[in-house]
Structure 1
Amino acid sequence: MKNVLVIESSPRLTESVSRALTERAVQMLESRYPGVSVVRRDLGRSPVRHLDEPTIVALRTPAELLTSEQSAQLQLSDSLVDEVLSADQLVIGVPMYNFGIPSGLKAYIDHIARAGKTFRYGADGRPEGALGGKPALILGARGGVYSEGPFQSFDFQERYLGAVLSFLGAECEFVRVEGVSLGPEVLAAAQKKADADLLETAALRGAKINLAD
């Protein structure tokens, strides 16, 4: 049985376009691969705390020098890292806020982007991600159109997530619903296209990992 970690980041618990897209993706995965195990991390319902000074100090302290208080400070980050590393595939639902991602998802990434845990620097100084090509399906929603046109350069949602997750060693695929704020007809067409795009992803085709094992 393979494990899929589903990360929801929208603070909107109802009427969220990104949550609806994520749920459709999970239903498709479960329908195609009945034995798949789905683990959910909902940052909207249960936000993780943003990094503070004690946590940053603990993160920069060698493991053998950690105090008991510092070890306790790192329990959340350690558990989040273990959760990511044990997953065979990531599915991330994310709305665009002010051209980027919600602060709750950024806080989560700050906990899992750990030197010596999810990445390290090799002898040549180049970063090496620990996710080992783990597939990451990123399901985005945005009010306008940013995949093309005059606002393309304002897309720091997919650009940032693609950069940081690739740095950690994941292989990213993107499916998006955009034009959410441009009227019901545009939204309906965008959702229909996103559903079709989902079926073409490596995640749904099982090209990256065999979820049926």
Structure 2
Amino acid sequence: MAHILHIDASPRAERSISRNLSKDFVKRWQAVHPKDTVTYRDLGHHPVPYVDEAWIAAAFSPPTEHTPELTEALRISNELIDELLAADRYVFGVPMYNFNVPAVFKSYIDQIVRVGRTVAIGPDGFTGLAQGKKLLVIAASGSVFRPGTPFAPYNFHEPYLRTVFGFIGITDVTFINADGLNNSGEAREHSLAEAQKAIQTAIANW
């Protein structure tokens, strides 16, 4: 039995492609794995705060020195990290905005990438502390950014997510892309059909 952390980052509701696809994946997954449990967080509609000066002061000082203000500054970060580490698998619906992740998801990342909690510093450098877990990212974009396409050099979304989650130890990362969504008609429908097919494949092999 596994525990899944499901996160959506789109500010859209029923019109969101990434949100609908991530929901569909989790629904199908639970039909095959009914004993698995899911925690859901909606960053698109309930964003977490940006890192501020109090957060930095608290994160880089011993807990024994924390004032009530500094303890409170890390409360949400601790909650998010506990939630992250409690999960075995992750399903993240993350659209591409301006070639990278939405600001709400970057804010989430800044809250969970923390020395002493999700990454350690030792004699040999950094070690991720969230190892042995699997991440599925369901991405949506208006254009096509796949390797070999004209817009591939503008894709900072997938490389960034692979890098930052690999930094905290999550290196088993799968991407499902619903792209070219600014197209109309057959091209758009083909992309969505390919994403649905990839979801079915992931359910069988993830």
TM range (shorter): over 0.9
Q: What residue identity is the alignment partner of 1:21? A: L
Give CA deviations for 1:62-102 in whole Å, capped at 9, x if unaligned. Answer: 12211122111111000000000000101100111000110
**Structure 1 residues 122, 205: closer, same or farther in 2, change over 3 A?**
farther
Q: Determine whether 1:198 maps to 2:204.
A: no
**In structure 2, distance between residues paired with 1:198 and 1:130:** 28
Q: What residue identity is the alignment partner of 1:196? A: K
**In structure 2, distance between residues paired with 1:87 and 1:174:** 19
User: Identity over aligned residues, as a percent?
Assistant: 36
**In structure 1, distance between residues paired with 2:103 and 2:93:** 14
**In structure 2, distance between residues paired with 1:162 and 1:100:** 12
Relative contact order (C-alpha < 8 Å, sep 6+): which is higher?
1
Q: What residue identity is the alignment partner of 1:97? A: Y
**In structure 2, distance between residues paired with 1:184 and 1:45:** 29
Partner residue in 1 for 2:109: 109
Aligned residues: 204
**Native 8 Å contact 2:14 2:20 kept in 1:** no
Q: What is the SS of the residue equivalent to 2:101? A: coil
Partner residue in 2 for 1:172: 173
Partner residue in 1 for 2:22: 22
Q: What residue identity is the alignment partner of 1:177? A: A
Q: What is the SS of the residue equivalent to 2:114? A: coil
Distance apart, 1:60 and its partner CA: 1.2
**In structure 1, distance between residues paired with 2:194 and 2:109:** 29
Distance apart, 1:206 and its partner CA: 5.6
**In structure 1, distance between residues paired with 2:17 and 2:188:** 9
1:115-134 → structure 2 map (5 Å cutoff): 115-125=115-125, 127-134=126-133
Partner residue in 2 for 1:211: none
Q: In structure 2, list runs of 5 or more residues that go unmatched.
A: none
Q: What is the SS of the residue equivalent to 1:200? A: helix
Partner residue in 1 for 2:163: 163
Query: What value does the CA root-mean-square deviation take over the aligned residues?
Result: 1.2
**In structure 1, distance between residues paired with 2:30 and 2:8:** 17
Q: What residue identity is the alignment partner of 1:133? A: G
Partner residue in 2 for 1:83: 83
Distance apart, 1:123 and its partner CA: 1.9
Q: What is the SS of the residue equivalent to 1:193? A: helix
**In structure 2, distance between residues paired with 1:96 and 1:3:** 26
**Native 8 Å contact 2:139 2:177 kept in 1:** yes
**In structure 1, distance between residues paired with 2:199 and 2:78:** 31
1:67-78 → structure 2 map (5 Å cutoff): 67-78=67-78
| Deviation beyond 6 Å, 4+ runs, structure 1 | none
Give CA deviations for 1:149-178 in whole Å, capped at 9, x if unaligned. Answer: 111010111111111011111121100100
User: Which is further off, 84-93 or 148-157?
Assistant: 148-157
**Native 8 Å contact 2:2 2:36 kept in 1:** yes
Partner residue in 1 for 2:140: 141
**In structure 2, distance between residues paired with 1:4 and 1:187:** 30
Partner residue in 2 for 1:10: 10
Q: So what's the TM-score if we normalise by structure 1?
A: 0.92
